[in-house]
Amino acid sequence: MSGTHTPLAEILDALADQRSAAAALSRIDEFRRSIAGSGVFSIQQNVTTADDPPDEIRLRRYYSSEVRHYPVNGTKRKALTPWTECLFLRGRVFVGEGVDVLARHFDDYSQMRPWKLQSVVNVPLMRGNVCYATFNVFGTRPRWQPHEILGIRVLALAAARWVPAAPDLGYRLTGTSHADSRHPDSTQA
C-alpha cells in the first residue's frame, strides 16, 4: 500500500502473534502512528443500556493512546447527532477534515484543541447490525489521504477481535428491558 511504512500484510501477521488485548492494541497503536502520523487514538465501547435515555449513547473508553489526558474507563454521553447516527445507527465510517468540522461534531473539541487535532476517522466496530465500539483516530493533518483512511479501517477490523461488547448492550438494541431479557418466563402482577 503506497504511503505506509509497513505493508498491511506485515501488520496483520504481527497482530496474529499477540496473545492479549493490551499487547495487540499497543501494536495497533504503533501501526496507527506509521499510517496516520501524530495524533490521538482511542477505542470507545458502546455501554448504552435499556435504562439509558432513548436519545443518548453512553460510551466508555476501552483504549487510549494518551491515558494521562484521556484515561481508560472514562465515560461520556453523546446525544443523537449526525455523527452518532452515522456510526451507531447506520454503521458507517465517519471521516472529518478541518477544525470547523471537528468543532461542529465533537462537543468536547475544546479539550482536543491543545493537541492541534484537525482531522478524524471514526470506524464503527460491528457485531451484526450493532455498533458495539468505535475505533477513533484523530490526526494533526488537515486532510487524510485515501490510503491512510484504508489503513485505519483495516486496523479497526484487526482490533475488533480484541474489543469485547458490553454485556448489557444487547438489551437496549433488542427492545427488551434488562429484567425481561433475564427472566423470559416471568409474568408481571
In Å, how far are 2, 25, 35, 132, 144 from 7, measured between CA atoms? 9, 18, 10, 28, 18
Cβ 59 vs Cβ 175: under 8 Å: no
Q: Extract long-range pairs of 74-81: CB within 8 Å, 24+ residues apart.
A: 75/47, 76/108, 77/52, 78/107, 79/55, 80/55, 80/56, 81/105
Residue whose C-alpha is closest to residue 37's, from 116, 146, 140, 152: 140
Listed in sequence order, the DSSP H helices in the chain are 8-16, 21-36, 82-84, 99-105, 109-112, 146-160, 169-174, 178-182
pTM given for the model: 0.84
Per-residue pLDDT tens listing for the chain (189 residues): 444 455 677 777 777 777 888 889 999 999 999 999 999 999 999 999 888 898 899 999 999 998 888 878 888 999 888 999 999 999 999 999 999 999 999 888 888 888 899 999 999 999 988 999 999 999 999 999 999 999 999 999 999 999 999 887 765 455 444 333 333 333 333
Q: Determine the pLDDT at residue 20.
A: 87
Residue whose cell numbers read 465501547:
45
Cβ 138 vs Cβ 100: under 8 Å: no
Q: Determine the pLDDT at residue 69.
A: 80
Q: Determine the pLDDT at residue 140.
A: 95
Residue 64 grid cell: 487510549
Q: Determine the pLDDT at residue 67.
A: 83
Question: Phi and psi at residue 158, in whole multiples of 5°?
Answer: -65, -35
Given CA atoms 145, 149, 155, 158 in this order, what sign does their dihedral have?
negative
Cβ 27 vs Cβ 14: under 8 Å: yes
Ordered by where they begin, the domains of the chain are 8-169 (3.30.450.40)
| Burial class for 124, CB neighbours closer than 10 Å (0-12, 13-18, 19+) | buried
Tally of CA atoms within 13 A in the half-sphere of 32 that contains its CB:
28
Q: Position 127: which residue type?
A: R
